[in-house]
Structure 1
Amino acid sequence: MGVAKNDSKSQKEYQKMFIDQASSAMAMVDNDMRYIAASRSWIKDYGLEGIEIIGRSHYEIFPEIGDDWKAMHKRCLNGATDICEETAFKRKNGSIQWIYWDVRPWFISEDKIGGILMHTGDITRRKEKELEKARIDDILEKTNEIARIGAWELNLITKVVYWNKITREIHEVSEDFIPVFDNGFNFFKEGESRDKLLNAFDNAEADGTHFNLELEIITAKGNVCWTRVIGRAEYSNGKPSRLFGIIQDIDKTKFAEQQLNKAHSELQAIFDSKSIMIVSTDKKGVIKRFNQGAEALLGYSAAEMVGKEKPRLYIGEEEIIKFRNDIAELNGRDPATFDHYVNFHKIELNDTREWTYYKKDGSPVYVISTITGIKNRDNENEGFIAISKDISEIKYVENELLKKNQLLNFAEQISMMASWKWDTVADKVKWSQNFYKILELDEDISDLNFDSYYRFVHPKDIKIVDQHFENVENDKKWESFTHRIITTSGKVKTIQLFGEVFTNEKGQIIEMIGTCQDVTEIKMEERKFRGLLESAPDAMVIVNDKGVIQLINKQSEKLFGYTPEELVDKPVEILIPARFYHKHSNHRNRFFHSPISREMGDGRELFALKKNGKEVPIQISLSPLHTEEGLLVSAAIRDITKQKLAEQKINDAKNNLELVAQTLSAQNKQLADFTHITSHNLRAPVANLNALLQIYDQSENEVDRIDIFSKFKIVVQHLTLTLNTLVDALKTKISDSGEDLEEINLADVLLDTKEILSGAILKSGVIIKSDFSKVSTIPYKRIYMESIFLNLVGNAIKYKSEDRLPEIRITTEIENEKTILKFHDNGLGIDLEQHGHKLFGLNKVFHRHPDAKGVGLFLTRTQIEAMGGVISASSKVNVGTTFTIHFK
């Protein structure tokens, strides 16, 4: 038994050294998919430098592995062999890596599998050259479960024993099994294992000695299992009060040596593969191994090469010199005196590049080869190993592709177009040179995906792009569309994209190709014209010589009630009462015969027909518009209904002078209210901007600064929205005393409030909770509701307690068929006995705060009462305040 075990250990060391020094990516894992050995190429190919992987789960190292690969690993653990020429491996950072693999089981004995061997190669570079279709075959990473580790605990005072679920599983007892101090020891095999554990427990209880033991147990089902038991003592009042630790099932690792024996034969099978060329040399460069793949590729036999020749027999001298110089520079040596055979014993060598080999008959063959130093236990190189793959076919395709790309780039330069291609399965994007120029992007950036394009999309056009690709996904059809981009230099451009969609037999999109054109100047001219058109105070309708509508502005939509889609390309008679049809055609013909700007109607009353069938009196001015498509006529149409009714209104005003006076008085009061609302509601966003600026200045982390800077935009947008809303509301109050109610979504108002107060929220750390499940919407004036939320939430933050984390809770209720809205905080609170009578008074403040103005609660009560509601408050000093609003 001793000899067998030593042989097994020796075999294990041999296998591990072979894998560690293999120039290709090789790894060995056990049945739990834990690493036993991995080559340096494996570490390098998968970016694992500096990471200890031995003993760790393959799936822990590669969490991005999917269920399909795990299933393949499981098949191999059951005896299958899986060989893949190439596949894509999507890494957790979003990049795609292409690999090939040979995965097969290795055996502890002839009928017992110990794990799997994985031999992979990184062919990403080759795949990128191969028509950009694929990357490197995905690394095989399928694994079972993490090795079982259970917890245990012994209370030295009460002698109560605790086992967790895994510990019970290791002992093969039921979940309701209750361990006791004595029977816990009885599981350990009588003799050495039990004696060691009892002695360890005695020492731990006596002087706190920690222990780490490998012991055999006899499970409740009679099975023998090797375990690792680790324990330590916990002290209370200077005396050990508790022993605790872990127990791990290590039964499988005890048989690792036998598993490695079987692995050797599997590794030999990989070496004998005819699909790759493997050649190794000694420290003098003389070939030691020359596999069947090398014989097939070069035409030499192993007998001709092994022990007799050096690789320079089939490699050109120029390439050897370049390789030697590159290795010298990489290791800080002088290329003039460096010899990679003489000086290589301490250097790190792992080089992948393309080579031109020459067969025995003198014909060239193109390969991609990885050359690695073979190290001994002293970390000194004892030779080289080169793994090569024939890429002659790929080089031919690459050259053909280069020619076609040159022709395409030339064609694009002539046509001022750019082209693009998107492999939707691998998320791989290819752009032409002109596309790079449009984006002002460095052409050396080649690792592109959909996000590479998406990052250039103008923020305001993201919804347009999202909707377009959603339509493409649903319809499997590409419609031409236009959107804005921001180039690397910050220029805003407008591009127009045309495309074609390709699907597989299942109807799934696998690829899109198309063109891109910079239409910035065209769109600028269009926008200038559209801007002039939209800035016109009158309805503008542009018609061609056949009386067909070509373009309308927003004022036209408001006047006639039609959408642009309902009017464009329709006869202008759609806007004319039927009784004027017979005359209009003659008038139009006369204008196009003598196109001069003039008033239409010659003093006659003119009428237009709205979508709802109502006629309105109008004035029309006609102007000729010369375009590349011919002469158009621009008609400026003004609704003079108000002018017609002016006299009527004056007479009515005389008869209702007293009512008007009352109305003006009410409006003056409302104007005063709005003055307070404006100053108060604008103060919060401005204060929030100052808070954000302070946080921004104090932040040293660039990521935080970018995040805070993005909030400036939201606050400025809300500030602009508040200004516009207040101005519109003021206009409404001046022109119409009626209340314009709308269905207000309380969750949306709260979201807007959070965005406006984002700086104060960040600075204070306040937690805002809401529950609008009882009532989610209320018919109300939006400006009032937004002001109520802004004042009550802002006050809660402003008067937060410094002794606890601020929290605000906003809820709705139904009481006696009336809606109730509550704002509760845990802030400083208000002494209602002392200040309750003036709580909602103007300019009343109850705390010393630099921003306290005594306006917010006054405005809030004014707004609520104006809408027929009532607000009340309950509060306790240093506990918090609740404001309750009863709506009408």
Structure 2
Amino acid sequence: MKSHIKNSTDYLIKQLPKATAYVNLNMNIIHISDSWVNTFEFSRNLSDDSNILNAFPLLSNEWQQDLEYAFLGFKNIARKDKYFDRDNKLNWLEWIIHPWYDEKENVIGAIIQIENISKTIELEQKVEKLELLLNAKSEIAKIGSWEYNVITNKLTWCKMTKLIHEVPLDYCPSIEMALNFYKEGYSRNLVRQRVEKAMKDGDTWHEKLQLTTAKGNDIWVQASGKAIFDDGKLVGLIGSFQDITEEVKVQQKTKDSEVLLRTLIDNLPLNVFIKDLESRKTLVNKSECDYLGMSNDEIIGKDDFELFHKESAEISRKEDLHIVQSLTPMIRKETLNIKKDGTKTMFLTSKIPLLNDYLEPTGIIGFSLDITHLKEKEKELRRLVHITSLQNKKLINFAHIVSHNLRSHTANFSMLLGFLIKEKSDEERENLLNMLISESDNLLETIDNLNEVVEINTVQNQVSKPIHINTTITKIKKSIKSLLRHKKSRIKNLIDDSVYVNGIPSYVDNILLNVISNAIKFEDPRKECVVEISAKKLKKYTVITIKDNGIGIDLEKNKTKIFGMYKIFHQHNDSRGIGLFISKNQIEAMKGKFVLRSKVDKGTTFNIYFKEND
């Protein structure tokens, strides 16, 4: 019967769900559960009468002390310790040892229950590590948390939240007190609305707000929160709370710097722009917007082909590619920009490559100074220098002419007066007086010619106007009618009746009269004299061409005489050498010019360039 009971007890213990062992006062195993054997593989070889201390050698000292304590009838508290299994893997055990009593309440041994709590310890360690990490992050990022229990109307702040509010760690806030920390006005009103909305509709909020701490310091915080429901019923609110004061200060400082930079570049007296690697504008200043006649938004994202004439865009793109590829700046280069409407602007342009931290190009920054007016002034200055140089040459030449001619006349006067004083014969004296009168007339004519030349080059108030060229030619033909008849010449006018030239009427009349008259006077007696007059438009000029078939001029021999004063290059009784000299001064006074072609015995062609209105 006792054997049957023992076997039943042993079988019952084997089925216990928790690893359990019964040991006698000698610490030998009497009963052991299957869960013990299955949980701790090395215990499979244990048999009855095996010493329990051999099961976990590393724990034998702790177990022996606890067993001896149990043998005295005392119950042990649960204890934990670690051990390494056969695979040298770390494990954690939790055990408790109770006294084992017989039916007479005598201690006959101890009951040991153990549990492998390695996973539980591992989870606890993970939780602890996570808490440490969260606390560290909370301190570094200044992020706190809070929780509000609607049922108990209790608000709980974590340590960091209290530190941010600069309240004691034993401070107990209420929901109303918490809301009153927010700065009166926008921040406080907004957070109240968000809390009420969350409690009513379950909304989540995430707002940047300003509050005043318990110590009176104004700070910026990122306040977040959400509602917690249980079976559709609101039970509370939870949220986070981050001090972002430094971040806001940095953002404000950055914003202030951006405003300062934008103000600076918008008020620079030059165009500023930034392009990406595709030559698309990513930043432009006010001057660039004004130049293009477009808003900032209309320009950003567009490349030069969308903003300028194709020719200008191609040149600019080549410049950009060279700068990006070579990383070489382009400094103070004169560039011509042509807008879509054809407007041309000359810029002094610099372009510099923009580099990242790895010295790789990310774009181009450019600066362009409008120098169109300077180039126009430079062009005008060159023109004035050229005119001044020509005028100086004319002045020197004119001075030589005046000096030579007046000296010649005064020498004749002096010589004739000397003869007159010495001469006794009345007849010879009369001849000398006639010669003096003739020389006086010549001197007056010379002075008149010189005055006319001076007037041409000094009078500035003569007004140019459109002159119908055929009307002028008809008038000239009438004035030289007798000359035409005498020379048996004819004028062949090929000019369309719509042609006008711009000039001073008296100058135009004189120029055409001189050239046409010379063409007739210097005819070739061996053939009929024909003077052909034609006209054409050529850039900024209307060109009147007067072509004859006369005796021609040896240009190699006489090129310096043709337009000289009193220069004669033909043996002709009517030649005085003054007509073409005056005509040349007149055409140049009207900003025109003569171009002459001639061959001996072939004829002469005068191209007279009349300047159009600017």
Band of TM-score, shorter chain: 0.3 to 0.5
Q: TM-score, normalised by structure 1?
A: 0.25
Higher helix content, 1 or 2 = 2
